[in-house]
Structure 1
Amino acid sequence: MTGAAMSFTTDMADSGESLSRALRAIRRKRGLKTSDVARRMDMAQRSYELFEAGGGRITFERLMAFAEATDCDPFALMLVGPFGSAEFAIHCADTKLAMIMVMSLQEFAEDRGADLCFLEPPNIIAAFQRLFKDLGGRLDDNEAFLSKWLDGRTAMIDLGALSMRGLRRRKA
C-alpha cells in the first residue's frame, strides 16, 4: 500500500473467509484434492475440509502442516488475517517471500542479538522501503526483459507453454 497506513485485523475469526480462500486457491494451484492434502497433513478428510472452509482450530501447527503439504509459504498464510486479504498468501505460494523474510530476520537477530534495541524505527522503515523499491525495480526489469525478448518471437513458439508469471501479472 503506497502512501497509506496499512490496517491490520487481529482476530483470526475475522480472517476465516480470506484464509479459506487462500487455502483453497493454493491447493487447487498445486492440482491437489482435499483428500490429498488431508492425507499429507495426517488429518481425516472431513477435518481437513472443515479447516479449509475456515472452521475448526486454526493453529500455527496446522498452517505449517498445510504449507508443508502444499509446498507454500507458511508465513504468508499467517499474514492473511493481519493483511485482510488472501491474495498475498496466494502470490507468495511459489516465491516464499514472507518465509525468506522471516528466515533473514532470524539470521539478523541471531547475529546482532541485544544490539537490535539500538535500531531506530526511521532507519528500519527507510531500509525496508529501499529493499522493496529495489525488489519492485527487479520485477519491472524482468518484465521489460521478457517483453523485449518475446517481441518478434511469438510466431516461433507457443506462448501457452511458457510460464511467464511477470507478464501474466500485469495483464491480469
Structure 2
Amino acid sequence: MVYGCRLAPYRRSRRRKAAEFTLEQTGDRRSLGDGIRSAYGKVRPVKSRRVQPQRDNDVLSQALKLVRRHRGMTAAAVADAMRMALRTYQRFEAGGRSLNLDYIHRFAAATRSDPQAIIMAVAIGSPDLAWRCADNKLVTALTIGGQRFNALLGDDIAGLEARPIILAVCAMYDALLAESDRQQAATRWLENGVTDLAQVRPTPGR
C-alpha cells in the first residue's frame, strides 16, 4: 500500500521499486503532473504565472480575515477565544506583528481551522488556502504524514532522489483532483436529476 493511504501505523518495506511511482495517463482529467511530465514521462519545466509579490504580513492578514469570516465570527469573539485583548488581536489580524506561530495556532484553535494551512498560505502567497482547508484540515494532514514519514525513514530521507519524490507528490495530488472531479460530477448529476423531476411535477402549492 502506498504511503499515506493508511491511517494506522505500519511497517514499510524499503525495497519498493521506482515503478510504484509511475503515473498513468489521465486523459482529459485535471492532473498536477501534466505540468511536470511529457508524454514519455520526462521531466520538463513548468510555466509559472507572473504575480505581484505580497508582503508576508499582508497575506497573513487576509488569510486570518477569510477564516474568521468563513466561521462567521467577530474579531471580539476570536480575541476572547484566544484569551487575548481585542486591541492585541486586531493588531495581529491586521498584520502589524511579525509572524507569530503561537498566535497562529491559538487562532486556529479558536476558529477550528487548519494552522498549517495558514502558514502555507503565507509561504505560497495565497490567503484563500487558509479558509479552503479550514474544514478538511488538508495541510495539517500533509504535515502529519510528513512527521510520520520522517520518523519512519529517518536519515534515509537524505538519500531519496528528487524525481520519485516529485512523482509521488503528483500522484497524491492527482488522486485528490480525481476525487474532487467525482464529487463535482455527483453534485451535477443530482442537481440535473432534481431539475428533471421538477419539470414533470406540478408546481408546489398549486
Aligned to 1:4: 47
The equivalences for 1:51-62 within 5 A come to 51-62=92-103
Identity of aligned residues (%): 32
Aligned to 1:130: 171
> Is 1:117 equivalent to 2:158 in the alignment?
yes
Mapped contact 1:15–1:80 kept (Cα < 8 A):
no
Aligned to 2:125: 84
TM-score (norm 1): 0.80
Paired AA for residue 104 in structure 1? G
TM-score (norm 2): 0.68
Mapped contact 1:23–1:52 kept (Cα < 8 A):
yes
Mapped contact 2:81–2:110 kept (Cα < 8 A):
yes
> What is the aligned counterpart of 1:15 among 45, 56, 59?
56
Listed as ranges, the gaps of 5+ residues in structure 1 are 8-12, 157-172
Name the stretch that deviates more: 65-74 or 49-58: 49-58
Aligned to 1:139: 180
- Deviation, 1:18, is 1.7
Paired AA for residue 133 in structure 2? C
Aligned to 2:73: 32
Superposition RMSD on alpha carbons, in Å?
Answer: 2.5
Q: Deviations over 1:115-141 (max 9, x none)?
A: 212211111001001111111011001
Aligned to 2:116: 75
> What is the aligned counterpart of 2:82 among 26, 34, 41?
41
Higher relative contact order (CA 8 A, sep 6+): 2
Query: For the structure 1 residues 75 and 4, does the alpha-carbon distance in structure 2 shift closer, same or farther, using more than 3 Å as the test?
Result: farther
- Deviation, 1:6, is 8.6
- Deviation, 1:54, is 0.7
Listed as ranges, the gaps of 5+ residues in structure 2 are 1-31, 36-45, 199-206
Paired AA for residue 98 in structure 1? V
- Deviation, 1:39, is 1.1
Equivalenced residue count is: 154
Which is higher, the Rg of structure 1 or of structure 2? 2
Q: Deviations over 1:86-131 (max 9, x none)?
A: 1111211111111100001111111121221221111100100111
Mapped contact 2:57–2:97 kept (Cα < 8 A):
no
Mapped contact 2:66–2:128 kept (Cα < 8 A):
no
Mapped contact 2:67–2:111 kept (Cα < 8 A):
yes
Query: For the structure 1 residues 4 and 99, does the alpha-carbon distance in structure 2 shift closer, same or farther, using more than 3 Å as the test?
Result: farther
Write out the 4+ residue segments of structure 1 that deviate beyond 6 Å after TM superposition. Answer: none
